[in-house]
Structure 1
């Protein structure tokens, strides 16, 4: 397969080179092909698949440079011997390195290893739930140990990014984030005290951490579930800022570089789900709070965003809002392809601005570069 100079420059040198190639198009040079755009858009897409063995179709997409990351679930991981999963991920990383567009940076391979009920590696750390860490005699030390233990388990399975910790500050006993022990506590001070050492120790051991679910699901009731249906969190903006957002500042201080958006809607700021809202991503998270890192969606197949269109449409809407990577976690390779097609369509018809897209490319690249430092 032959790649154009435009896409190779974008991936090997960076977004600025691609911007130059686009500008040159107006002076009579060849415009980027659909293939070029598919490769660039694919770097913004996280794929998933069923079973222990990655399908050949996914390997081929990786070899072509059309995949930015992978998410693993419990059934993707050999629970009896995670070294087998690590070997499969090593083959994926090798396929990535074989791409003519390879820029020396790894695939992001991620999973949810929070501790407690939410662990994709069942016998691996953290060996306490977030709630247990927060309730321990020394929450900071327990959380630091949780970060270390989690990183050890993930590295053993070939995973370099954890979709944890949860920064949500729960409000009432038994509510959404408390009933499954996913929240470290019911005060922003306690959550901050826990998540900072968790993140720091996890990243020092070589695994990127992800803060979720911005701006927070701590006030969501027990029967709320964005995976299933739209959820409205009616918290006033002053409470969101004084309670829910506080742990994010603690995370930023210890080098947190990835934030996952919530799919809930927060009328205090916008009538759109947070992951589709530029008011939340660009105005609040990047603008008011100063976050410079990578933003990703929650699951693209979530019931909360079904009213906004199919996978292609929701992927494009999230990119327009300023999100960098879309999470295609339906265990269906086609989902990732459709998300990529949605982003390509937006680039071609002008719905997605090149300025926004170029900045996003740079942020994804920076996150992947940080893995080389963590090693």
Structure 2
């Protein structure tokens, strides 16, 4: 399991009270810039430069995609090599959500929607998390960018189309998410709840990976529906929360959530009391087309309070640019 205690070189963020949230943020901000970047690369073997950066404590983590993976054994060997190169902990992660979104072979086969519709959805979520943990551990990874805690609204909308949402009922999503977090982290794989404050109201085709998206829900609906599963996951001790790149006009009409101090600090940190690490969604996302270079995007996310920047364009130059901007 990715060890935030060692990562922050101090007391575990989860062990701190709400009043200590600024201290958690200060520790993350004080890290060498490269340690706040999650890198990515093309192909099955990391480039030599990534090992060099890791050896200098300038890598925070690596996200793996299907083209990086020939087999679980091959990825396990790559992970071991990266850890050996780095004198500090690395967050080695992927998206193993279940259903159609699995980077590694071996499941879990059930999608989030199938889990949420099961007769005993909590038991099904436990099984889904246990299956993901087994696959990830076999590949020598220590974190999973799951569960998705978005509450979808209509059949066939963006989150429902690929069955990535547990339900259109917040209490079902919350119950499944809490169970998933407890089981996954009980298996020593860190969980990452996404996409805060909730992307479930995005209509079909509203993909932040591709284009800007605005969610027009009121603050009351966002807090009373969409944030409910995140609140439960935080209560269960979720290690990481990933921010959405959508704009939420009811919270901050001027900036995407992952660039908004209002959303990150006022809602996630203070209102919900999250004390773990805040992770950005993909820094190259089309939703950020109007926000300039990788460096500009990194600075904006940093100012909002994001701790780890996900550079997933499969090019370590992207990660290097983000790190340089934070120096």
Provide the TM-score with structure 2 as the length reference: 0.90
Q: Which protein has the larger Cα radius of gyration, Structure 1 or Structure 2? A: 1
What 5-or-longer segments of structure 1 have no aligned partner?
1-9, 16-36, 345-375
The offset of 1:125, in angstroms, is 2.5
Over 4 Å off, 4+ runs: 10-15
Gaps in structure 2 of 5+ consecutive residues:
1-5, 12-28
Give SS of 1:272's match: strand
Listed one character per residue, the Cα deviations across residues 96-140 of structure 1 (whole Å, up to 9, x for unaligned) are 13xxxx4xxx2000100000111101x323220000001111111
Q: Identify if the C-alpha distance between structure 1 residues 246 and 54 changes in structure 2 by more than 3 Å, giving closer, same or farther.
A: same
Please show how residues 37-52 of structure 1 align to structure 2 within 5 Å. Answer: 40-52=32-44
Hey, what does 1:257 align to over in structure 2? Answer: 239
What SS does the corresponding residue of 1:319 show, helix, strand or coil?
Answer: helix
For 1:118 and 1:12, locate their aligned partners in 2 and report how far apart those are by CA, in whole Å: 30
> Matches of 1:13 and 1:240 in 2, distance apart?
35
CA distance in 2, matches of 1:204, 1:43: 26
Q: Distance in 1 between matches of 2:131 and 2:278?
A: 25
Is 1:148 aligned to 2:118, yes or no? no
RCO (CA 8 Å, sep 6+): is it higher in 1 or 2?
A: 2
8 Å contact 1:296–1:325 — kept in the other structure?
yes
Distance in 1, Cα, partners of 2:138 & 2:47:
21
Residue 94 of structure 1, CA deviation = 0.3
1:199 and 1:209 in contact (8 A); partners too: yes
Q: 1:139 aligns with which of 99, 110, 121?
A: 121
1:168 is aligned, of 147, 150, 153, to 150
CA distance in 1, matches of 2:48, 2:120: 47
Deviations 1:331-357 (A, max 9, x none): 00100000001111xxxxxxxxxxxxx
Q: State the match for 2:20 in structure 1.
A: none
Report how far residue 176 of structure 1 moved: 0.5
Q: Which has the higher strand share?
A: 2
- Within-5 A mapping of 1:1-375: 40-78=32-70, 81-97=71-87, 102=88, 106-121=89-104, 123-270=105-252, 271-344=254-327
Contact 1:38 1:66 in 2 (8 A): no
In 1, the alpha carbon distance for the partners of 2:37 and 2:225 equals 31
Task: Name the count of aligned residue pairs.
Answer: 304
Matches of 1:200 and 1:173 in 2, distance apart? 28
3-state secondary structure, aligned to 1:298: strand
Aligned-partner SS, 2:275? coil
Instruction: Give the root-mean-square deviation of aligned CA atoms.
Output: 1.7
More helix by share: 1
Secondary structure of 2:62 counterpart: strand
In structure 2, relative to structure 1, the CA distance for the partners of 1:75 and 1:12 (3 Å cut) is closer
In 2, are the aligned partners of 1:112 and 1:119 still within 8 Å (CA)?
Answer: yes
